[in-house]
Each structure stands twice: as structure tokens, then as C-alpha cells.
Chain A
Amino acid sequence: MAKVLIIAEHDGKKLNGSTARVMTCAQGLSAESVEIAVFAAEGAAVAEQAAAISGVTKVLLIENPANEHATAAILAPQIEALASEYSHVLAPSTTFGKDLTPRIAAHLAVPQISDIMRVESPRIFDRPIYAGNAVITVEAPEGIVVGTVRTASFSEAEKTGSATIEKREINVELPSHTRFVKLETSGSADRPDLQAAAKVVSGGRGVGSTENFKVIYDLADKLGAAVGASRAAVDAGFIPNDHQVGQTGKIIAPELYMSFGISGAIQHLAGIKDAGTIVAINKDPDAPIFEIADFGLVGDLFEIIPELEKALA
């Protein structure tokens, strides 16, 4: 029977919603136990949030000053020290998980399954390749299964649990070769989180400038939506990198995705395939985005957005 360890993603205060999505994936493993490990400097609040996720057997709280802004180099040896008690070690396929789990897998001498999108059995999974244009069904070899979970493929588990929280000490030597310097956020903390939002309004190169992006933000605010962007818009400096949606940005699954001035390159589409309804506004009737849009409207976004706002008012 599977014994699963999930590595919690958090910012020191709040548990990231991706952790509850990994829990939903873990439920498909017919596991005997699913534990969540919280590594933090002071993690009581995060541990409580983790304990509330339905289906969690136990939360392990590993407090250590070194775990403030912990890097993969600091976390990996601690997780490796725990790993032998488990059949599966999972993390979300966010930049946090992607950075961390291969370091663990390599030390445990097992391959990693990246971006698990479906669980067929405790060792057999589906995962996307080629920007989601193909799906492979893979079987993990013997040994611990280390994987990241494609969060857009799983909804968040309920929060009706009350698992016990167990403090653990892990005495392993931690390296000093990697030091956190700073984190610059784009200050969009008061807007809905792109990876969890039910609605996303997204702009591309067609929006044209940083100033013009204001129309995208305003529409998003009216709809209570998060703001996304194509790579071209981020590269051009219209909007910070954490808004990028796609193969190499965020993979999202909102109920409603509205794109403005985005052509629909395969790398962008890779990030929105799981959206409920896709709306595309583009002035080019042949833009590839129309091939996957549920509702397409050909026209100039600067004329359409004001009309939309009026219709919504």
C-alpha cells in the first residue's frame, strides 16, 4: 500500500493552494496514508492549514531557522532523510516543486515523473510532452516514486479535515553554498491568484504597451478576474514575468479565460487547455487562437473592451 509524502508549498504564512491539488492527485493512489511535510522557520500556522485538508493522515512540521526562504539545496537533504518511510514523494509542478524534486530523485537514484496529470495506478501515470501536444503513459521503476503534480489537472481537496500535527527534528548537515538574497513580487497580491482564479483576463503583444495594459487590468477588476499574459507581452516589458501563461509560464485551468491580442502559439495554448470556456478577441480572423476558442470575436480589442464594460455594467 502506498504511503505518500507531500511537500507543502507556502510562503511562511499561507499554504499555497497547489498543496491541496496534490492531495487530490494522491487520493488516486489508494494510499494507506498521506502525510504533508511543512518545512519552515516557524510553521505552526501553515501546518494548521495543511491539517485541514481532507484526507491528510498527519502533518509533519519541521522547524529550523534554515528553512526560512528555503532553497532546494536546503530542503532536499531534509526530505531525503524522511523519504525511506514512504512509497511516494510528491510536490506541485510549480516553480517551487520543479526546482526541488529532481534534486531529491537524483540522490535517491530514482527517475522523476514530472507533471502528473492522471493516475492510472500507484506506478502508472499520464504526463504531457511537447507542450501538451502529446500525452505519455509512463510506468515508474521499482523504488520510491518521486513526482510533481500538474496542478491544473486536479481540483483542490476539501478543507474539512483535522489531522494531527507532529513536530519533527531532522538532523542532517545543510549546505551553506546557496543563500537567499531577495524576492521581488509584482505587487499584485490584492488581485486574485492567477493559478487559482476562476476567471482570467489575459493580454498579448496586441495590447501594445504597459499603459495599455490598464484596460486589461480594469476589465479583470470588473470581472473579479486574475490577469494573465503571453510571453511576447512579458518579453516586451508590458507586464511582469509572473503573469506569463503557457508551456514555460503558468499552466492554468480557470472556468473562464478571456484573451485579448494573443495569437495562440502552441506554447501559449499549452497553458490554457484545461480552461472551462476560452474566449478570444483578436483582429486577425485567421489567428490560431480561434481554433481552440469556444467563443471568438474578430475585432480591435480597444473597441471591444469598452463595449464589453458597458454591457457588463
Chain B
Amino acid sequence: MKILVGVKRVVDFNVRIQVKADGSGVATEGVKMSMNPFDEIAVEEALRLKEAGKAEEVIAITIGPKASQEQLRTALAMGADRAIHVETDEDVQPLTAARILKAITDKEEPKIVMLGKQAIDDDNNQTAQMLAALANWPQATFASKIDVDGDSANVTREIDAGLETLSIDLPAVISTDLRLNEPRYVKLPDIMKAKRKPIETFTIAELGIEPAAAVKVLKTSAPAARQAGIKVASVDELVAALKEKGLI
């Protein structure tokens, strides 16, 4: 079976982002970009399923500008077999992304589409669920354990109440949470080898997708800042301060 894995280029999780003074967005010029951490986990999980003999082919897909090919190369260096780049300079919102993934899914017929549970830029946490809806497939979101057994899978999900296990029929969409695995580091020879792996490129128009009605971003602002606090010198001082506020 094939596994299709989504990969998004985002501002690296270590960067402290700055909101532009004119409210037009977040400054991304010259900022370090990386693969969305949840997607790295998705790539890793797909590769482990392949290594365990449960999948034959791992295909990485990204939707984004030309530079997103860097992240596809990372996925290929990790071990993905080939990649698909849906190239666009537009801001692609989750419903449109889901429609694009649906079109590719129809073409490739993977048994599992593995996506990060959220991208750490927009923090939407929507695309996997939307793709599952459009395909009328099962979804298992926030996965921390995946056991594939023939035509079904048991997926353990991290939810507010604890750990929930679902049994789902394949094909299905799975979204990955942090504790599913620890992604491998890519080695230099793998990066060289990845350069020879194929990347197929499409435009959104070529896929015949109608972009969905979009949410309009009116402005971007910095969050309300917390007032600077103080350092106390002792436990007694701390307790006195909390008592004064009526907190203890």
C-alpha cells in the first residue's frame, strides 16, 4: 500500500516571530524555515510502517511556493520514495488544501494519508479532518500510536480525557501528535541521494481545483503583553505577595 504524507514549510519552531508594525502580517523575510514539526513526525511514522513491511511506498506532498521543495527534499532525505509539489504563491487555507489533497488522493489512491495535526504557523488543526470529510473516509486525529493490521488500523489518540483508541477501516486519514515517534536525523549521504529522487509538480489549476471561499484576514496584531513581574528573594516574600492578592 501507499502512504501519502503532507509536509508544510513553516517558520522554524525556535524563531520568536515579530508582527509587522503595519499590521499586515508576521515578518518572515530572512527567518529560518523548516518542516512543520508535526509533519516530520508524520513522515517518520510512514517510513516506519514501510520499514515494518506494512507499506510499499511513501509519497511526500507539499502545497506552497517554490522554496517548499526544500522541505520535500528533507522528506526524501528521511526516506520518502518520491514527492509531489503543488506549487502556489497564494495563501492556501485548510479547506483548499484539503481539496488539493483530495485530488491527489484520487490520483494516487493511498491507503493512509498521514498529516500533522496542526501547522505551527496558523495553528488551525483542520486539514486532516477536512480531507477525511471530503473523501468520506475515517479520521483518527492526534495519534500517539498506530497499529496497522491488514485493512484496518488501531489508533491511539491523545485527547483531553486521556488516551482513546479507535479502530478504523482503511483507507483513512491520520493526524499525528508529538508523542507518536521521534523523527530521525538526516545524514549527508541521504541528502545527496534525495537529490536524485523525483518531484512531480502541479499547479492548483492543473488539478482542476476550485479554491474554497476563504477567511479574510483583516489585520495581524501583537498579543496583549503581560505586565512585567518581579523577582522575589525568598519563599516568605512569595507567600506574602500571594496572600496579599488573596490567591492563597
Please state if B179 and A241 are interface contacts (CB–CB under 8 Å): yes
Would you call A81 an interface residue if the criterion is a C-beta within 8 Å of the partner chain's C-beta atoms? Answer: no
Instruction: List residues of chain A with CB within 8 A of the CB of B223.
Output: 128, 132-135, 273
Please state if A177 and B162 are interface contacts (CB–CB under 8 Å): no
Instruction: List residues of chain B with CB within 8 A of the CB of A223.
Output: 248
User: How long is the Cα–Cα vector from A247 to B234 in the complex, in angstroms?
Assistant: 31
Would you call B132 an interface residue if the criterion is a C-beta within 8 Å of the partner chain's C-beta atoms? Answer: yes
CB-based nearest A residue for B241: A295
| Chain B min CB distance to A25 (Å) | 17
| Chain B min CB distance to A31 (Å) | 20
Would you call B186 an interface residue if the criterion is a C-beta within 8 Å of the partner chain's C-beta atoms? Answer: no
Within 8 A of A (CB), among B158-192: 158-169, 172, 177-179
Please state if A95 and B215 are interface contacts (CB–CB under 8 Å): no
Please state if A234 and B179 are interface contacts (CB–CB under 8 Å): yes
Within 8 A of B (CB), among A104-140: 104-107, 109-115, 124, 128-140
Please state if B163 and A295 are interface contacts (CB–CB under 8 Å): no
Please state if A255 and B247 are interface contacts (CB–CB under 8 Å): yes
Would you call B213 an interface residue if the criterion is a C-beta within 8 Å of the partner chain's C-beta atoms? Answer: yes
User: Known contacts A131-B120, A180-B166, A292-B229: does B98 contact A106 (CB below 8 Å)?
Assistant: yes
How many residues on A have C-beta within 8 angstroms of the other chain's C-beta atoms?
88
Q: Which of B68-76, B134-142, B193-201 contacts A (4 or more CB under 8 A)?
A: B134-142
User: How long is the Cα–Cα vector from A266 to B223 in the complex, in angstroms?
Assistant: 13
Within 8 A of B (CB), among A68-104: 71-73, 76, 94-96, 98-104
CB-based nearest B residue for A183: B164
Instruction: List residues of chain B with CB within 8 A of the CB of A291.
Output: 228
Please state if A235 and B218 are interface contacts (CB–CB under 8 Å): no
| Chain A min CB distance to B102 (Å) | 9
CB-based nearest B residue for A290: B231
Please state if A142 and B213 are interface contacts (CB–CB under 8 Å): yes
Please state if B178 and A312 are interface contacts (CB–CB under 8 Å): no
| Chain B min CB distance to A67 (Å) | 15
Contact of B130 among A106, A140, A142, A183 (CB under 8 A): A106
Instruction: List residues of chain B with CB within 8 A of the CB of A142.
Output: 213
Would you call A161 an interface residue if the criterion is a C-beta within 8 Å of the partner chain's C-beta atoms? Answer: no
Please state if B94 and A112 are interface contacts (CB–CB under 8 Å): yes
Within 8 A of B (CB), among A160-205: 175, 177-186, 195, 199
Would you call B29 an interface residue if the criterion is a C-beta within 8 Å of the partner chain's C-beta atoms? Answer: no
Please state if A183 and B162 are interface contacts (CB–CB under 8 Å): yes
Please state if B218 and A135 are interface contacts (CB–CB under 8 Å): no
Please state if A130 and B120 are interface contacts (CB–CB under 8 Å): yes
User: Known contacts A96-B160, A182-B164: does B229 contact A293 (CB below 8 Å)?
Assistant: yes
- Residues of chain B touching chain A, judged by Cβ–Cβ distance below 8 Å, are 11, 13, 16-17, 19, 26, 93-95, 98, 117-118, 120-134, 136-142, 144, 154, 157-169, 172, 177-179, 212-223, 226-236, 238-239, 241-242, 245, 247-248
30 residue pairs bridging A and B, Cβ less than 8 Å apart? A95-B141, A95-B158, A95-B160, A99-B139, A107-B133, A112-B124, A129-B26, A133-B223, A134-B222, A136-B219, A136-B220, A136-B221, A139-B218, A140-B215, A141-B214, A178-B169, A181-B154, A181-B167, A183-B162, A185-B162, A199-B247, A234-B179, A242-B161, A256-B247, A273-B223, A295-B229, A296-B231, A297-B232, A308-B238, A311-B239
The 10 A-B pairs at the shortest CB distance, nearest first, are namely: A102-B129, A106-B133, A106-B130, A294-B229, A102-B126, A185-B162, A141-B213, A181-B165, A95-B159, A307-B235
